Amino acid sequence: MGNPEKLMAQIFDLKFTSKSLQRQARKCEKEEKEQKLKVKKAIEKGNVDGARIYAENAIRKRTEHMNYLRLASRLDAVVARLDTQAKMQAIGKSMGSIVKSLDSSLATGNLQKMSETMDSFERQFVNMEVSVGLPQAAAHAIPAAKDKEKVDEDDLTRRLAELKARG
């Protein structure tokens, strides 16, 4: 499952299947209610054998309903796990590129490049915690990270100017 596009397609297919199972469950629930009404009418008419058949049908529909719901729930759990895996793959790939960049800037001794790389690393780390823990809050966390980045950049620029003035 190394291919993110394939994983996302599988997630979509599983979500679609889960929704389909939920629709089937609602359909079975509706049919169960219809069968129960038929049982009631058959009993009122004195048709015991017909009532028994309708009752068996209602029981069968109830069982189908529960089985569909159980399967849909299990698929939803699988989707949640695969979604987390997809996010973690993306984060791992991003972190790998940051580590390579940091390694190259450490080798050259470029302080500006190291600072930029560390800022990028911190942003990725914050985004990782936010996207895994609270997916809906990720959009709100990004502007705060950019504000912090601006303050950090101003601080680094000031410190660099002080170092140049001394030397």
Q: What is the residue extent of each domain of the chain?
A: 4-166
Question: Is-contact 39 54, C-beta < 8 A?
Answer: yes
Give the per-residue pLDDT at 100. Answer: 81
**Could you report the per-residue pLDDT of 128-146, keeping only the tens digit for each?**
676 655 554 444 444 554 5
| pLDDT above 90: residue 147 | no
Give the per-residue pLDDT at 117. Answer: 77
Mean pLDDT calculated for residue range 20-43: 96
**Could you report the per-residue pLDDT of 68-81, keeping only the tens digit for each?**
999 999 999 999 99
User: Rounded distance, CA 23 to CA 10, Å?
Assistant: 20
Give the per-residue pLDDT at 125. Answer: 72
Name the region of 47 (left: φ>0; alpha: ψ -120 to 50; beta: rest): beta
Q: 29-38, 86-95, 100-109, 148-157: which has the minimum mean pLDDT?
A: 148-157
Please count the residues of the chain: 167
Contacts of residue 90, Cβ cutoff 8 Å, sequence gap at least 6: 4
User: Rounded distance, CA 165 to CA 167, Å?
Assistant: 6
> Side chain identity at 26, as an amino acid letter?
R
Mean pLDDT, the chain, rounded, equals: 82
User: Rounded distance, CA 69 to CA 123, Å?
Assistant: 40
